[in-house]
Structure 1
Amino acid sequence: MKNLKSFDVIENPRDIRKKLGLNQQEFWSQIGVTQSGGSRYESGRSMPKAVRELLRLVHVEHVNLAKVSGDDIDIAQLLKAKEPELYKALKKEVKANKAH
């Protein structure tokens, strides 16, 4: 699946859900949306930007929001700013590990 930038138009959420093998309840509850609300989005109703971003983070980027804190984001931003080469190397290593 392609990498998406924040708030980009995403493919049909139904397609993402089916690729992940989840039912509507499992898929939508992970981002705080009811099954009925998710069903409406899958039927073409416009999604708010916040819901699209949560969907991208959780179901496309596979970020476990329960394990991420503000400190984690701050550390990543600091590392990227102060040690850009190390940041790039670590990012490359993470992507390589995900491919295996």
Structure 2
Amino acid sequence: MQSNESRRCSVSDARLHAVVHGVVQGVNFRYFTVRLAQRLNLTGWVRNLGYDKVETVAEGPRDALNAFLEELRIGPSSARVTRVDVEWQKPTHEFSDFRVTYEEW
């Protein structure tokens, strides 16, 4: 497992901003996302957004982010994902872990 410091130097790191649409609130989607991100050693956050959306920002190796995105497209069994809007960005390395947030970003 890589430390945060060694990951900061990786040229393969990226930042994923995704908004997941569908039946994604009240179905533990945020906690599914946290567990998934932690398993993949990603940093960032997830939050509810509006009535039928969950927003997430995650940073880490591109291959881990691709795996993260594929799982977001499916979600937990109680969710029904209809669309995922994706934006790839340069990583900022501002996060030390992955968590649910309630703040405006």
Same fold? TM cut 0.5: no
TM range (shorter): under 0.3
TM-score, length of structure 2 as denominator length: 0.25
TM-score, length of structure 1 as denominator length: 0.26
- Structure of larger gyration radius: 1
Higher fraction of helix: 1
Whose RCO is larger (CA < 8 A, sep 6+)? 2
